[in-house]
Amino acid sequence: MMLSERIAYFYQAASISFAISLMLNLQPIIVLSLYLMIFTTIYALLASRGLKSVSPNLFVSSVTVNPNLSKIWDEVEIRATVASLRKGLPAIIKLDLDGLETIRGAGTWSGLLGDGEASIDLVVRSVDPGIKFAGPLKIAVMDPLGVIVKEFEIHPRIPVFIIKGDRLPGHPSAYSSLSYPLIGFSKSRFIGVDHEYRISQPQESEAPAKIIDWKKTAQRDDGRVYVKLYDRLMKGDLAFGIGSGLEIILPNGLKVYSEIVQGILAIVLPHLEEGSRIWLIRWSESGEPSTLLVEKSRVIDIPGIPSIKSLIHITRLIDERESTFLKKLSSRGVTVKLILIDLGADLLEISREEWIRRTVDLEMRRLLEKVKSLDTPYAVTSLKDFGECLRRILTYRRAV
């Protein structure tokens, strides 16, 4: 709890007035300033007792995004609602946005929380593809005079997915003929649906017609009904690293980092629908990677490196410290696969001048020299073919 900004300025002014009048021996002003300070202090103590029992558990909140897969420049509707179990609380509600431009609506609401819901309705858009964020949703409750303020975060950030193309490319699918189920890779977009036929067994109770093995039931003479049993799809985690040298803009205006995120997004969205969690580990200039855990309904900042078994790391290996970081991950038992982004083909599409050709050759040699020192499986791809390269690596889980 704290004093509201307006009352804090008022209290500060009264304190300064008291100090100056004390030095100048202005008794009426001394008395008035002292009275205001004492009254404010006593009221703040009493008001804080009334707000002491207010906690995030008193509020029911939701944040919805529609549609939560949209193209750049398309309008996206965001609605945040808050209901309070205690009526008549003066409050200010605020919804933060990250990477989104507000077209219509306001991100704040103020008033008394009553019988109905308080809502914030926004229409936003983004000019860049990638994962943007709505939230966190915050609330500041106050006493009736607005002297004391108590702030809470009542809803976490949620991801807002923005793509560039008209539709997503097909996501990877794999079959259990590989002797084990590939986590998150199936033809279905839902968890727990019938995935691959395993066996037919007799059913004691009445069974839905769609799961009855009619052929086997007809072949048996025991009069029992046989139903098909399926292996069910299970959710899992996917981890992607975004390395150094990607924060650049090509001469044609193409943003390399945005294209990389767009390629990852095209792959991970179906897996998020299936319940998978996505780890995005981003290399920073400080040498300390930052980790983002992305789920369908929320985004969480994670300190340090999570406990993962494998990592697909996309990079141009510009920062020397990045190689040390990748070796450290390998020593911890993490299976690292590299996707090296070679911008040569993309540059040659813009111009085929001789100096560009020489630059392209030098860049390829630099990448190969860097990656040889890591002793790590790798693939080299252009920015244009990045999505297809990533999809193949995920689908077949093969060495590259």
Q: What is the pLDDT averaged over residues 299-320? A: 87
Specify the higher pLDDT residue, 251 or 96: 96
| pLDDT, mean of residues 250-264 | 84
The pTM of this model reads 0.65
pLDDT at 118: 92
Contact 166, 86 (CB under 8 A): no
Q: What is the pLDDT of residues 170-201, one digit of tens each?
A: 444 333 333 333 334 444 433 333 445 556 66
**Averaged over 311-332, what is the pLDDT?**
90
Residue type, 369: E
Element (H, E) at 201: strand 194-203
Task: Report residue 396's pLDDT band, with 50, 70 and 90 as the boundaries.
Answer: low
Cis peptide before 270 (omega within 30 of 0): no
pLDDT digits (tens, 9 = 90+) for 86-135: 888 899 999 999 989 999 999 999 999 887 889 999 999 998 888 889 98
Cβ–Cβ < 8 Å for 51, 60? no
Mean pLDDT check: name the lowest of 50-59, 250-259, 381-390: 250-259
Contact 164, 299 (CB under 8 A): no
pLDDT, greater one: 392 or 382 = 382
* pLDDT tens, position by position, 366-379: 888 888 888 888 99
CA count, 13 A, side-chain hemisphere, 259: 20
Sign of CA dihedral 14, 18, 20, 26: positive
User: Is residue 124 helix, strand or coil?
Assistant: strand
| pLDDT of res. 71 | 86
pLDDT in tens, 69-84: 888 889 999 999 999 8
Beta-carbon contacts of residue 306 (< 8 Å; ≥ 6 apart): 239, 279, 281, 291, 293
Predicted local distance difference test score (pLDDT) of residue 95: 95
Per the prediction, the chain carries an average pLDDT of 80
pLDDT tens digit sequence for 347-372: 777 777 777 788 788 888 888 888 88
Quote the radius of gyration of the chain (alpha carbons, Å): 29
